[in-house]
Amino acid sequence: MNMNSQDWDTVVLRKKQPTGAALKDAAAVNAARRQGAAVDTLQKFNAGKNKPGAQTVSGQPAAKLDQETEDFHHERVSSNLKQQIVQARTAKKMTQAQLAQAINEKPQVIQEYEQGKAIPNPQVLSKMSRVLGVVLKK
């Protein structure tokens, strides 16, 4: 038997290194710890904690915000302004879409103003006043 053609060099097979999310997996972290590799763990600020003294994004404790009694809300379009817009638009025989195109806004904006859901924007009101030919007041 001739063994001269046989390759006797050592062959090493290795798995591909994990990337991205696989490195953050709990099992991957535990495996790295078992192998003695350096594992750097960071905890996000207040992650998963809902403590009474926990800070909120505004920097105030959540309990303090809960005890706040002042009512915070955005000013909405008044019923008087809604009626002014509808009457002026119908007097000009314009649809909501035509008015929106004339003031370079989306038709949804006009619809929100006429339904009273919009937060009054002085720039939009002045555009509507100019196109409709009336003075619109908040």
Domain spanning 79-132 has what CATH number?
A: 1.10.260.40
Q: What 3 state SS string does the chain have?
A: CCCCCCCCCCCCCCCCCCCCHHHHCHHHHHHHHHHCCCCCCCCCCCCCCCCCCCECCCCCEHHHHHHCCCCCCCCCCCHHHHHHHHHHHHHCCCCHHHHHHHCCCCHHHHHHHHHCCCCCCHHHHHHHHHHHCCCCCC
Q: Domain limits of the chain?
A: 79-132
- Residue 115 banded pLDDT, cuts 50, 70, 90: very high
If you average pLDDT over every residue of the chain, what do you get? 81
pLDDT at 17: 75
- pTM of the predicted model as reported, rounded to 2 decimal places: 0.49
Residue 128: pLDDT band (50, 70, 90) is very high
What is the rounded average pLDDT of the residues 22-49? 74
The predicted pLDDT at position 14 comes to 85
